Copies of this chain bind each other. A is one copy, B any other.
């Protein structure tokens, strides 16, 4: 087999992006302010700190927790989080005996309003291929050792439903405020590849 390569004149991605922008601008099809606004929004405003606030509130407000597990989209909306890739969000509750973990094997679907854009490992073939076949091993490789009797549930995001994992509240955090709790909650814990550790 001859090696599969692109045409020798295939410009690199940075130059192709610039070329595409120039063509779209020239035709008046995009507004640079909209483009910059979108980028800034996902660089600064939409990220795992949103999900962390949802989780911290669920840990400190039993009634909110109930609503969150019953209708994730609505309860998340109460905190002002909604938008693309958040049309319908279901929240999966981790307990001592049940561990949920989320993937999208076909592309990289991810609940943007609460977690922002996905990290590289979530989009990489190794995670997408293996977490649905040997989750316990993959989680251990990622640093999360689960007891043998933990019931592992893997969720492949194959429709427009998006999943957020509600991690367990760590012990020794009874004195922490909702805000302090939110600072502990990691993206990895809300995808299900980590747990929240006490400060």
Name A's B-contacting residues (CB within 8 A). 1-2, 4, 108, 120, 123-125
Contact = CB atoms under 8 A, between A and B. Distances in A.
Given A1-B108, A1-B125, 6 more contacts: A1-B120, A1-B123, A1-B124, A2-B120, A2-B124, A4-B125
A123 B3 CA distance: 11
A125 B1 CA distance: 9
Which 4 pairs, one residue from A and one from B, show the smallest C-beta to C-beta distance? A1-B123, A1-B124, A2-B120, A1-B120
Nearest to A128: B1
A137 B93 CA distance: 50
8 contacts: A1-B108, A1-B120, A1-B123, A1-B124, A1-B125, A2-B120, A2-B124, A4-B125
Nearest to A127: B1
A70 B82 CA distance: 71
A125 B125 CA distance: 19
A4 B124 CA distance: 9
A166 to B, nearest CB: 27
Nearest to A1: B123
A70 B30 CA distance: 70
Contacts of A1: 108, 120, 123-125
A125 to B, nearest CB: 8
Nearest to A108: B1
A125 B3 CA distance: 11
Contacts of A4: 125
Contacts of A108: 1
A93 B80 CA distance: 71
Contacts of A2: 120, 124
Contacts of A123: 1
A120 B4 CA distance: 11
Nearest to A121: B1
